[in-house]
Structure 1
């Protein structure tokens, strides 16, 4: 019995040992290899599964490094390898097994998917027979062979361009120059090198450093600095230097330069702070982004998306494309601005600090948003040095300040709006004369030493028409007081004061007062003639006058060309009152404070204003001159223009003079 049990145990042991020595099938081995592949365990793949005969052709370091480098550089993710064989075959007597597999992955050039026949060979390792992968480069990508190179190409997209209403180019993908020198040409000419450095705004040491780069050979073109296509004079001087050379390159162009500088903005290299905010959107350290103006505001629409192409270069034969994602160009955008009108406005301001907005009263299309002085975006797109930026920043005229996005005291240009509010409220009889005498007035003794001052005593009672023609501060202070704080506040609110301007470009909201209320009599009276704390952007002021021109409807200001006109505020004044105010605004130019703007061939109507900027009541200070005007014969636009520091130039007279020239030039160029 014991002998019988012993024989049974021995038999079980033999069977068990036989099971342990059973050779795993090729499918089992390939499955194990695939699991490691899906996990990118390249070292283990090579050590345990690559055939010894294959290892004679590719070493472990080359195998592992190649996989890791390719997968990293191509940003390979979501690797998935699956066996396509439905059932195992009997490979007991075979020396080679062929099993179909499918390889899938995501790359920065898009998805890659290919099918391949995996070949396994029965070979011996460490005196044990096993199935191994007969590996070659085609396991990485289809068609790849030993010696082939993987290449990654960026397919450049194009940034969207900006055009004005008439198709004029505001921000386009144009050209510029890379200025440089031929290596060896300046070696013995220190004077020429110094002149080259001065013209390019670099140092001679920088030029020497560039010339000493390892790749430089005599006669080679060595790039030094980018130049704008508009640097004609500088290029002319540079070309006179022996050895100077320039190559044309692609570059963002701003054809209207300073005239639209604040509106268009510019693009520049992304900085670290911007990259941190935008990296989730796919931005890289090599990208350029909008820095100011429309370039920044419309970055998402204008931004292009580069494509990528992964391909194999072969020693013989054509390249083989593995994956490709086409570039996506940014969106071209057309805005309502009339670039020629804006350039006219900018040129007539002649670099004096000021701003102007022009709006079509019937459609709300914004035809001009000018800020003077300004900067040339072509200079900024090249990269402005710290010293140059400091120079601009310290300029007392503040060329970096975007004035059309700011709000200012409207001065007497608010008076037609005060009149419209009082007429709508029923507190103003336009024909009723007020017995105002003298140049100073106060409601009562509670005002202390403060009084409202007017420029002219007409020597007769004053009605609305005469008050507008002669810009009578006392009349409009009384008008505001008669309307009362509630109706005056609500009236200004009905004109959009105290709320965000519904405009696609960020412009500061106009305000009624610092607190938003008119709860003090002096503040209320001062607000009636545009002093106090009321502030308005020129865009809002031009739009508000549109309510008078447009019989009570103020249109929503439109930035983009082709948008459907939309009423922002309606029933601001009756048609009867609007007609009355239109007549009075024409008389302001024919007989009143804007007589200098009464041009032959026009029917200019409008209102002047001088805003006194005082540190405190009773003192003198700087003055801003304003003029809001339109041509009643051809109301193509209402223009609100403001000029700073005109106390020595006759206040609003300076604004009238500039506006007059704008209308003349506009008619000349548009006819």
Structure 2
């Protein structure tokens, strides 16, 4: 058989040619797919750059990414203005975009369609919707833009509107439902420039004097670019009950008074440190509370209970974002959020008692606590002097702010929250520890005479002093009745440092008081360890480095009428009067009865330091305390704190602690005793 090699060769060449053509076609197809893939990736990348710029509010850069046709329809200035106005209006915080689908547009060559999901963090909450964008290829991919790129339903002549429904902040009330803080109204003082009259300068000066606002500040507000002659220009907001100032202002040409919503504090200075005040939230607070959905215009509790109970009191405004057409007709609601009013807060505080204690102490720098010693309900917390919280809400002037800060009595300082040297009001604590550890025998008289004493010559020139030598016996009851420093200094030495420190910890010194309002921790030494015998002796009568918070002192005194149990104080009214104990069995019932019997004599005995508080028909147990604040024992320029603590012993309902500073020339602790007596007369005798 003959083989035709020519045909075979031709056949092989043909197969090679076909294979080559196939490879070329396949390569071209892969290259085509690859090119399309590159184009798709490029389009997606440029789209993401555009959306990222939106998230960063880089609107000029966004404009640079729209195509030529789109830029003919809207200028850069109008583009930036539209985005800025909408983003600010809806308080846009963040834009998240997820591309769902990207495909070639067969109807328009060189364009890509992108389907994407948008989530906007707005004033009304998270707004999620789907949208479609078209990209046209130039040197880079450009956005085919219209207003629908913002919202799918938004036409180029449409506008975005935001309506807010104000929520009510919860009220703060006392135990009898008297309001201590509420959403009320205030008087907004303003000027209509065109009605200032012929002597506009004098009118401005009159307003300046009455409102304590600088003329320069008034002129600055009246000369703003938006001001027109017939506009009401707000100058300052004041309380509506300042009728005298308001009437004087209304006599000035051009002045007008409008009502304005405002947080109002009816007790003013009398409960300022307790209740606190609200103001517009600042940047730091926004950051700290970023999970709580605050807006830049929101108010927040700045101090006191307004701050402590912010989450309860705060109301959340309702809001709706919607689109209107060029005639103002509602077109589409994008998102809405219902308002949520804040909850009211009812306190155990008795506002009448709060007011009375403030009035009694108002001339002094001081603090007062009143509580029910059986339930732990706190009835009053007072710090004097104080400030008017309404001034902070309505806009405090620079002059007033300066005067508050420069006042030597420190009206902004909260004294009931702080630690103070207790002096002799602390002696019952030493007595309790002595009886409990059997280092004191109430019947035994100590060998004390004269007005000064030191343990031995190692004390050098340091002596413990007392006010009077009352003779014998110098036993426990007489030491309390006459407030004998030497007796309690010796008692502390007998108890010993380690035992005294251990027992003081049983009273909660060094611990945080379990109370809604943060109080300073009481201490027996700054470093937690009494240094020497002199400090130990001084600690026995409430000097040395003993510092007590006034509320903590009240809780300690509650143990005298609770068989040695320290009550847990509370401020939020629960209506049950349920008793909770903070420290159980700190000492025995017998010890409590002994202390209570002796403290009753401090008031009933005519020689007792607290006899000024005696009220016929009312059994009061009490203790005075004069704490010396000086650099050394020989310091004659130091000051004194005057204390008095008292509780009624028959069916105990009221325990009052009062402290006034700078009483050295006012009779020491005797200066505050009548104040406490007046509280018991008003709320136990006459009620």
TM bracket (short chain) = 0.7 to 0.9
| Cα deviation 1:211-248 (Å, max 9, x = unaligned) | 33444444332211121234332112212223321111
In structure 1, what is the Cα distance between the partners aligned to 2:683 and 2:153? 66
Equivalent in the alignment of 2:375? 363
Structure 2 counterpart of 1:579: 593
> Partners of 1:193 and 1:222 in 2: how far apart?
13
> Contact 1:163–1:170 (CA<8 Å) still a contact in 2?
yes
1:245 partner SS: strand
Instruction: Tell me what 1:623 maps to.
Output: 640
Pairing partner for 2:96 from 70, 78, 83: 78
Structure 1 residue 163: Cα displacement: 2.7
Given that 1:100 and 1:115 are in contact with CA atoms closer than 8 Å, whether structure 2 keeps it comes out as no
Deviation at 1:373, TM superposition (A): 0.9
* Secondary structure in structure 1 of the residue aligned to 2:496: helix
- For 1:601 and 1:341, how far apart are their aligned partners in 2? 21
**Alignment partner of 1:162 out of 160, 163, 172:** 172
1:392 to partner: Cα distance:
1.9
CA distance in 2 between counterparts of 1:288 and 1:564 reads 34
Distance 2:592 2:680 in 1: 23
Q: Does 1:649 align with 2:650?
A: no
Paired residues, number: 650
1:600 pairs with one of 613, 616, 636: 616
Residues 660, 10 of structure 1: alpha-carbon distance in 2 compared, 3 angstrom cutoff: closer
| Matching residue of 2:419 | 407
Structural mapping, 1:25-174, within 5 Å: 40=50, 47=67, 58=73, 69=84, 72-73=87-88, 74-75=92-93, 77-80=95-98, 82=100, 103-108=117-122, 109-114=124-129, 140-174=150-184
Residues 351-500 of structure 1 aligned to structure 2 (within 5 Å) = 351-500=363-512
For residues 287-336 of structure 1, give each alpha carbon's deviation from its aligned partner in whole angstroms, at most 9, with x where no partner exists: 44333323334445544444543210113543421122334444543333
| Runs of 5+ unmatched residues, structure 1 | 127-131
Corresponding residue of 1:129: none
CA distance in 2, matches of 1:294, 1:455: 42
Q: Deviations over 1:356-391 (max 9, x none)?
A: 112222222222211111111111222323332221
Q: 2:235 aligns with which of 224, 227, 234?
A: 224
Measured after TM superposition, the shift of residue 668 of structure 1 is: 7.0
Deviation at 1:574, TM superposition (A): 1.1
Deviates more, 1:232-241 or 1:133-142: 133-142
Q: Which residue of 2 aligns with 1:196?
A: 207
For 2:644, what is the secondary structure of its paired residue? strand
Q: 2:655 aligns with which of 638, 647, 651?
A: 638
Task: Sort the Cα spacing of 1:61 and 1:456 in 2 relative to 1 into closer, same or farther, 3 A.
Answer: closer
1:268 aligns with 2:279: yes
The superposition leaves residues 614-668 of structure 1 with CA deviations (integer Å, 9 ceiling, x where unpaired) of 2212443322111000122342221111111112221111110111122223347
Would you say 1:568 and 2:578 are equivalent positions? no
What is the RMSD computed on CA atoms of the aligned residues?
4.3
In 2, the alpha carbon distance for the partners of 1:497 and 1:216 equals 61
Greater CA deviation, 622-631 or 464-473? Answer: 464-473
1:537-561 CA distance string (max 9 Å, x none): 2111111011111111002222322
Alpha-carbon distance in structure 2 between the residues aligned to 1:375 and 1:76: 41
Distance (whole Å) between structure 1 residues aligned to residue 476 and residue 553 of structure 2? 20
1:351 and 1:373 in contact (8 A); partners too: yes
The residue number in structure 1 matching 2:258 is 247
> Are positions 1:588 and 2:602 aligned together?
yes
- CA shift in 2, pair 1:583/1:144, >3 Å: same
Q: CA deviation at 1:101?
A: 6.4
Structure 1 length-normalised TM: 0.84
Q: CA deviation at 1:535?
A: 1.4
Distance 1:234 1:634, change over 3 A: farther
Paired with 2:250 and 2:543, the residues of 1 have a C-alpha distance of: 57
Q: Find the counterpart in structure 2 of residue 312 from structure 1.
A: 323
